Amino acid sequence: MKKMKKWECNLEFAKRYVSEKALQELLSYLSKDPVTHMERLLGLGKLLARREEHRRNVAVVENAIASNQAMRRLAEGLLKDTHPNVRHRLLYNWFINSTLLGIPLQRRLSEKKGFNVPYLILVDPTSACNLRCEGCWAGAYAMHDELEYERLDSLCSEAKELGIYWIVMSGGEPFLYPRLFDLAAKHSDMAFMLYTNGTRIDDRVADRIVEVGNLSPAFSLEGWEERTDRRRGPGVFKKVVAAMDRLRERGAVFGVSLTATRENVEEITSDGFVDFLVEKGARYGWIFHYIPIGRNPNPDLMLTPEQRAYMATRVPAVRRNKPIMLADFWNDGELTQGCIAGGRRYFHVTASGAVQPCAFVHFSTHDIYHHSLEEVLRSPLFTAFQKRQPFCGDHLRPCPIIDVPSALREIMTESGAKPTHDGAGDVLKEKVGEHLDRRAAAWAAAVAEVRSRQAVKTGS
């Protein structure tokens, strides 16, 4: 019997529960009357879910939409204001292919093959960028690297064979990659999210984003215009706002990427700024804590323990009260059960092809030009990473860079990983390494105090 392609297997799997025609009709109903038919989509999610945890997650979303006005506004806006092509491709690919079908396949193959299959891959298609932002985490890479299209294409195919249908892109500037839209069109069953500076999204590019349907940009901002332009260059903020307007008018789905520093943490989490993002049409946001890596690393820009504690309460409050889904990668460790890097839930491929555990851990033992995806996932670096996860019993301290730097040193020694650019090894030693040790100790003390207050409050 002829071997079935992976997309055919997924389609057959879905058809056991509901036909493709019924899925598309349901999405059509949602676009016309989302308030009435939203519950049907959630019911479908529970029907398709093969893992009990996914059924529970759908039930949590269902309850949140029913009980929380902000969450309902977000869900209704996504379904009502999104262009049909984007809704049928991006939302379908992420909700059905990547999550409900992809994750169970990942888990089955992880058990069968003896290595962990992650949920997504972060890829830098190019290191080229038209900006030179101060402190850029990727600013120390060579500026001329670019992944061969054929290898990036085959990487997507390998990923789907393992149940991975979500590719995140960074750089460099992803919209400078010449064949970006060719890749998205060829892998129309995958969802792509792109971290972008936003300056390349003119009318033509905005039209293409809606045309392919499965791309979602996440715009990088530092806060309001003065702070954004100070780091990114004059006029950048206005260009980002114009790009947001173009995408909102066309019905694209987009978000934001915010780097929290000692200088801007209250600005980017303020009611006024968050309301501005919602007004412009952003549906989600990723908040990264500044890590001293890349171009001109500056440890003094890192969040203080007090600021990090503020973030731990402020971001959940935003999620409860604003129609935008914000994620705080470090303080949301309790939701992810610790660090997600090192192939546990994701890993990073640079524009040179080097494979790293994380966008901020610039060390490698393998590359995608000399190794298959399966070989990468079996690498000694990922093995050393995963056997130590979680790095701390308290998930408010999930990160081996800023929370448990001793673990990062052990991993690099054990795996033999090498820095991927000059200066990358400074996080392990000297001034930067010593600063990280002090900051990790200060945050550990702050977390202990938080837990003590919680224990007193609950009477335990």
Question: Residue ranges per domain, the chain?
Answer: 1-106, 110-378
Provide the pLDDT for residue 201: 98
Q: What is the mean pLDDT of residues 122-144?
A: 91
pTM of this prediction exceeds 0.85: yes
Residue 61's identity, in one-letter code, is V
> At residue 191, what are phi and psi to the nearest 5 degrees?
-105, 130
User: Positive or negative, the Cα torsion across 132, 133, 134, 137?
Assistant: negative
Q: Are 190 and 214 in contact (CB under 8 A)?
A: yes
Distances (CA, A) of 72 to 38, 58, 78, 319: 10, 14, 10, 12
Does the pLDDT of residue 102 top 80, yes or no?
Answer: yes
Whether the CB-CB separation of 362 and 356 falls below 8 Å is answered with yes
Q: What is the mean pLDDT of the chain?
A: 90
Is there a contact between 323 and 98 (Cβ–Cβ < 8 Å)? Answer: no
So what's the architecture of 110-378 in CATH?
Alpha-Beta Barrel (3.20)
Q: Over the stretch 51-65, which tens digit does the pLDDT of each residue have?
A: 676 677 667 677 777
> Does the pLDDT at position 105 exceed 80?
yes
Q: How confident is the model at residue 9 (pLDDT cuts 50, 70, 90)?
A: low
CB within 8 Å of 115: residues ≥ 6 apart: 343, 374, 377, 378, 382
Distance of alpha carbon 189 from alpha carbon 63, whole angstroms: 29
